[in-house]
Each structure stands twice: as C-alpha cells, then as structure tokens.
Chain A
Amino acid sequence: MSIEIRNIGKRFGDFVALDDINLNIPTGELVALLGPSGCGKTTLLRIIAGMESADSGQVLFAGEDATHLHARDRNVGFVFQHYALFRHMSVFENVAFGLRVKPRALRPTEADIRRRVNELLQLVQLDWLSDRYPSQLSGGQRQRIALARALAVEPRVLLLDEPFGALDTKVRKELRRWLRRLHDDMHISSVFVTHDQEEALEVADRVVVMNHGKIEQIGSPDAVYTNPASPFVYQFLGNVNVFHSRVHGTWADIGRASAGEAPGGEAMAFVRPHDIEIERFPVIGSLEATVQEVHAVGPVVRIELAHASELIEAELSRERATVLALVRGQQVWLKPRQLRVFATPEAVLEEGGSGI
C-alpha cells in the first residue's frame, strides 16, 4: 500500500522536529529514512504510525486520508528500536497478542491463532523458542520476534525504528539481508529509520536523507551517494574532502568554471578521497601537497596529505599505491577525478559530521 506524506510539520516547544515534509512511498518499496540524531526521522516514522500527531499536514494511506486515524486502526506494523516485547508474555503470546486483542467478531479461533503464530515463528526461524520469555533471548532473536509480532496482524505497512541499532556488527549484517528478503516476500511497503548510511545504502530501494527536520535528498542509494544534492548529503554519506575557494582557490574555481558559473563569491568544492588522483609531477589544475601518512587498510591505501596546512585524505588501490611508492614528506600533485562545487552558505555544515 502506498504512503503519501503532505506538508507534515511538527514542533516540540521551540524545537522544530519536522518542517513541511513531503514524501511519496509507492507500494512495495523499501525506504530508508537516513539522518543524524535529532533530524526528525523517528518523529516522521511515529507520525506515519499514528504514535505522534502532526501539527499540520496530512498522511495518506493508499490515497485515503489517515491523518486522524488512531494508531490502533491504521493497521501498520511497528517495530520499536528496543523491540518493546511484552516482558511478561512468552514469545508465542507476544506474537499472538495482535490476534487475541481483535474484536470478538474478527478474532480467529484458538486453533487459527496457533497455526498463524507457528507460521510466523517459522518464517523468522525461531519456532523452537516459542515458550521462552523475552529476557531469555539474544538481541537478534528479540528483533526477529518483534518483527513476527508486527507481521501477525497482516499490516499494510511495516515501519521499523532503528531496527539494527542495538545489535553487534555481525548480527546486523545478517539481519539486514534477511529483512530485505522478507520485505520482498511479503509484498508490503516498508519504511525504516537509521543513522547508519551503510545500512541505508545496502538495504533500501530509496533513501530519504534528512537533516534539521527537512528532507535534503530523496533518491536511489546510488544516486544519493554519487550525486549528493547538498553539502550536508555529501558529508553525511561517506568521507569527503572540502576545499574552500578562499584557501584552495584553484579547485573551486575550476569546478565553478566547469559548471558554467561565473567566478566570484565564496564556494566549496567536495571531493571524495577515492576521487583524488595523485601524481608525482605537476599537471594542469593540480594542487601541490606533501605526503604526511600512508596507511594500508585492507584492500585500499589511505594517504594523508597536507596542502597549505590543511589536511587532505586520499584513497588509492593497492596497485596504484605500489606504483607511486609514496613515502612520508614526499612532494606530490593532486587532481580530482570528480568534484562538486556549492556556494558557501552562512555557517555551513557546522555539525554535519563526516560519516564513516
């Protein structure tokens, strides 16, 4: 079922959590809401679920206005960040809960409930745990039970709040792929919230990057990574070097010229470390720099360089690094393979910490 969000706004006191949000999620799509903490992504998810009411705007499910529909009537499956399993119920009863609280006329028979719960537990591959209590499960198991519980009521939409946030790296990677397969099998629309760009890029069909209560960019994982729409997105998704026209006149001016803009005003150029080419001799439009550190990290070699007392990071393949044979203190020339230029706004990116 499709979800449509129109002009949603929400404040908490003086704090603007969401500012005029518009978003369309077509049926069957898996969408990630990505952003730093405090960007409003969880608030948006809770508004879709009906857990929070918006100050303004509308939420539409399959084209029908659901803005004033109560959470219990929205038929959404919500998976909480810390799972929120009912600690006094067994795994079985947790999953059965949504079926047992249905109005008498709609409630399945005990046998049907049993069958349905067992099916779901098999689906999440935890049918052998049905008599356990939540406190006896590992984090990954709780996560899957929380999913099974949400799916029991056959929701039209599945919403997940930081679904893998509390898990360790290995379990997180497994569950990601599993969630992707599950989503594809169930044919429902899913939205999940995350602050982990790798997670969003790997799992989602579409990524919605948010910051300060606004949507910065909506696009496929590839599009938001390779073609960021704003300085924030550039910095949030992956490592990036920033060159200010004031300091590194050359590149920003080159970028501006190549973008067909007239020079003038402050500008910033963004270059990803793996888009920097290192040469041993000067070439046109290159910056002179000194090698500071060389670290071999797995398949890549990271090189820290200094240009006019500013640090620049570059990433080379092992082969290229071998050819260059860089050593500390060496003089080199840098050339960007790809760069983006943005006019420098006021107080730019003061907190858009570079994602890992």
Chain B
Amino acid sequence: MFVTAAYRRQVLPGFGLSLGCTLVYLSLLILLPLSGLAFKASNLTLGEFWAIASGERAMASYRVTFGASVLAATINAVFGLIVAWVLVRYSFPGKRAIDALVDLPFALPTAVAGITLATLYAGNGWIGKHLEPWGIKVAFTPVGIVVALTFIGLPFVVRTLQPVIEDIEPEVEEAAASLGASRLQTFTRVLLPGIFPALLTGFTLAFSRSIGEYGSVIFIAGNMPLISEITPLLIISKLEQYDVIGATALAVVMLLISFVLLLSVNALQWWAANRHSGHGGRGAGRGA
C-alpha cells in the first residue's frame, strides 16, 4: 500500500499516544537492554571475542545445539506434516481434543517437560526400559536433547501448516485427478509445492525455538561438556563461574543467530505470501 508521512490530523484518535507508548516500552524493556549486551561485549577486542566464541567447549556446544535442533526440526517437519494432514483431512473420534493437545508444548512449562521426558526416557522409565535392551540410550545423551527439542518444536510446524492445508481448494485436486494424475503425483506436483513455504517456515520457527531452548533440555541432556552440553547451558555455567565476559560473548553469538533466524522467518513468510502475486505494486492506494 502507500506510504505517506503527511499526518496533519488523524480522524481516529490516539495515534501519537499508542505509538509513543509502544516505542517507549519497547525501547526501555527490550532494545536498550539488548544493546547493553553489545555494550558489555565491546569491552572485548575482536581477537578476545573470537577466542571465547570459538573455544573448544563453545564450538562443541554449537555442534550439539545446531545438530540436535536440525534433527528435531526435521523430525517435526515430517511428523508435523503428517499430523497436520491427519487433523485437517481425516475425521476420527476425539479429534477436537487431540487438536487442542498439539499446543501442549506451548502451554506446559519447559521445566515440567524436561523432568518428565527425563523420567520417561531414563533406563527405568516407561519408554527407556523398552529401549535399553536394544542398546538405545536416550536420556543423558545427545539423543535426549533431540527428544526434548522435538517436543518443544512440534506445534510450530503443525500450526503453520494447518491453515495452509485447510485453504487448499478441493477443485485443485479434482482437476489434477481428472487430468489423470495419480494420488502421489497430485501430492508431489500439486499439493506439496503449495505447502512447501509453510513447511519451511514451520521448520525455521521450530529450529529457532530449539536453538535457544534451555529448560526442557537440561534435565534430559546429561550436560557432559563437549558431548551433550548446549550453548545456553554453557552460558549459565560460565555465569556460575563468574565468567561474565565469557557468558556475554556467547550470548552475543546466540543473539546474532536469533536475529538472522527472525529475519529469515520474515523473509520466508513474505515469500510465501507474494511468490505468485507478481509485482503488481500499483503506486496509489486510496482512490475513490
């Protein structure tokens, strides 16, 4: 739409008040504190910063965090697509309740999720005791981290996909079928391309949540340095050793990654919304 700065007088009241209120709150609570982090980090030279950020333990923690997050987000992309499809397309008893349950990871405090998953997947837990005989250890290993992050990320994928699958017009599939496409062909050639941006957005949302996740992971991870220590935990342990500068350097790395992911999500959503609408940016908005 159009952009204009000419606001000599608005009919609707409260523009200045509401925008001012928002900007002050946002600046005081969020922007200034975050820039405080950069300010603190600026005490370091680039070389010192790099030495901390690329230390052995730090690098190992990035590998664990990113590796587990990518795995968890991938599992969620696959199963989230199935869950979303099943919830939109099929009818079965208890569907409403199950649909509501998908949001559990949003509603359940992460600490509760953490201790519960750790208990379930421990060697004597409900699930762990069936896996142990097969030589599969989940709790207190990197696999446990993937489990916790899968729990945390699931709703992001499902909730991003559901409305998109709901919006698919049945005529599109009917048209494909009437033109002789098999069900698989219809799915891969007609449906999947339409769903794909949303799937990617859901994946990125789940991934970006996983990177920063702390509460649900620490109970099940085992937290062995170099093996199953995630970056947020490394920040905490540096703090506990009064290594504030070290913690700050790692936090800056995490914050930069957050920014990049936030911008990617925005770009993805913009792409999903605009990719087929062409470039018909007509200059003027309000006409008669």
Q: Are B4 and A13 in contact (CB under 8 A)?
A: yes
Nearest CB of chain B from residue A162's CB, rounded to whole Å: 9
Q: Are B284 and A38 in contact (CB under 8 A)?
A: yes
B-side contacts of A35, CB under 8 Å: 288
Chain A 257-293, CB within 8 Å of chain B: the 1/0 string?
Answer: 0000000000000000000000000000000000000
Which chain A residue lies CB-closest to B1?
A12
Chain B 271-287, CB within 8 Å of chain A: the 1/0 string?
Answer: 00000000000011111
Chain A 38-63, CB within 8 Å of chain B: the 1/0 string?
Answer: 11111111000011110100000000
Q: Are B287 and A39 in contact (CB under 8 A)?
A: yes
Interface size, A (range): 20 to 34
**Considering the chains assembled together, what is the distance between the CA atoms of A10 and B182 in angstroms?**
57
Q: Are B2 and A39 in contact (CB under 8 A)?
A: no
Q: Contacts A38-B288, A210-B288 given; indicate if A53 touches B8 (C-beta within 8 A).
A: yes
Q: Contacts A12-B4, A13-B283 given; indicate if A53 touches B288 (C-beta within 8 A).
A: no
For chain B, the count of residues having a C-beta within 8 Å of the partner chain is 13
Residue with the highest number of chain B CB atoms closer than 10 Å, among A13, A41, A44 = A13
Residue from A33, A52, A55 in contact with B11 in the complex, judged by beta carbons closer than 8 Å: A52
**Considering the chains assembled together, what is the distance between the CA atoms of A47 and B101 in angstroms?**
51
Nearest CB of chain A from residue B14's CB, rounded to whole Å: 14
Q: Are A13 and B287 in contact (CB under 8 A)?
A: no
B-side contacts of A43, CB under 8 Å: 286-288
A128 interfacial contact with B, CB 8 Å: no
A-side contacts of B285, CB under 8 Å: 12, 15
A-side contacts of B6, CB under 8 Å: 11, 55
Main secondary structure of the interface of B (DSSP, over half): loop
Which chain B residue lies CB-closest to A194?
B288
Q: Are A44 and B288 in contact (CB under 8 A)?
A: yes
**Considering the chains assembled together, what is the distance between the CA atoms of A70 and B11 in angstroms?**
7
Q: Contacts A15-B283, A52-B11 given; indicate if A40 touches B288 (C-beta within 8 A).
A: yes
Nearest CB of chain A from residue B280's CB, rounded to whole Å: 14
Residue from B11, B286, B287, B288 in contact with A50 in the complex, judged by beta carbons closer than 8 Å: B11
A14 interfacial contact with B, CB 8 Å: yes
A-side contacts of B179, CB under 8 Å: none
**Considering the chains assembled together, what is the distance between the CA atoms of A52 and B7 in angstroms?**
10
**Considering the chains assembled together, what is the distance between the CA atoms of A42 and B285 in angstroms?**
12
**Considering the chains assembled together, what is the distance between the CA atoms of A5 and B191 in angstroms?**
56
B89 interfacial contact with A, CB 8 Å: no
B29 interfacial contact with A, CB 8 Å: no
A-side contacts of B286, CB under 8 Å: 12, 17, 42-43
Q: Are A193 and B288 in contact (CB under 8 A)?
A: yes
4 smallest CB-CB distances across A and B, nearest first, come from: A38-B287, A15-B284, A41-B288, A42-B288
User: What are 11 A-B interface contacts by the 8 Å CB criterion?
Assistant: A11-B6, A12-B286, A13-B2, A15-B284, A15-B285, A39-B287, A40-B288, A43-B286, A50-B11, A53-B8, A210-B288
A residues sitting closer than 8 Å to B (CB atoms) are: 11-15, 17, 33, 35, 37-45, 50-53, 55, 68, 70-71, 193, 195, 210
Given A15-B284, A17-B284, A38-B284, 12 more pairs with CB closer than 8 A: A12-B286, A13-B3, A13-B4, A14-B283, A15-B285, A37-B287, A39-B288, A40-B288, A43-B287, A45-B288, A55-B6, A70-B9
